[in-house]
Amino acid sequence: MPPQSTTDTLRAALHHATVPSVAMSAHNPLVAKLALEAKFHAIWVSGFELSASYAVPDASILPMSAILEMTRAMSEVCSLPLIVDIDTGFGNAVNVAYAVPRFAAAGAAAVVMEDKMFPKDSSLRAEGRHALVSIAEFQGKIAAAKASSTLLVIARTEALIAGLGQDEAIRRGVAYAEAGADAVLIHSKQKTPDEILDFCKAWPGTVPLVIVPTSYPQLSFKQVGELNKVGLIICGNHAIRAAVSGMRRTFARILEEGGIGGVEEEIAPVSDIFALQGDADMREIEKKYLR
Q: What is the 3-state secondary structure (H, E, C) of 32-91?
A: HHHHHHCCCCEEEECHHHHHHHCCCCCCCCCCHHHHHHHHHHHHHHCCCCEEEECCCCCC
Backbone phi, then psi, for 238, in 5-degree steps?
-75, -25
Same domain, 131 and 208: yes
Give a yes or no: residue 1 inside a domain. Answer: no
* Single pTM value for the model: 0.95
State the total domains in the chain.
2
Query: Residue 17's pLDDT is what?
Result: 83
Same domain, 278 and 229: no
Query: Residue 3's pLDDT is what?
Result: 54
Exposure class string for 205-228: b at 16+ Cβ within 10 A, else e: eebbbbbbbbbbeebeeeebbebe
85 included as an active-site residue: no
User: Exactly one of 58, 85, 87, 115 is catalytic; which is it?
Assistant: 58
Same domain, 108 and 248: no
CA distances from 285 to 50, 106, 282 (A): 32, 25, 5
Which residues, given as ranges, of the chain have pLDDT below 50?
1-2
Same domain, 123 and 201: yes
Same domain, 99 and 181: yes
Ramachandran region of residue 7, left (φ > 0), alpha (ψ -120 to 50) or beta?
A: alpha
Same domain, 173 and 65: yes
pLDDT in tens, 100-114: 999 999 999 999 999
Same domain, 96 and 196: yes
Same domain, 215 and 250: no
- Give the residue numbers spanning the domain of 26: 6-238
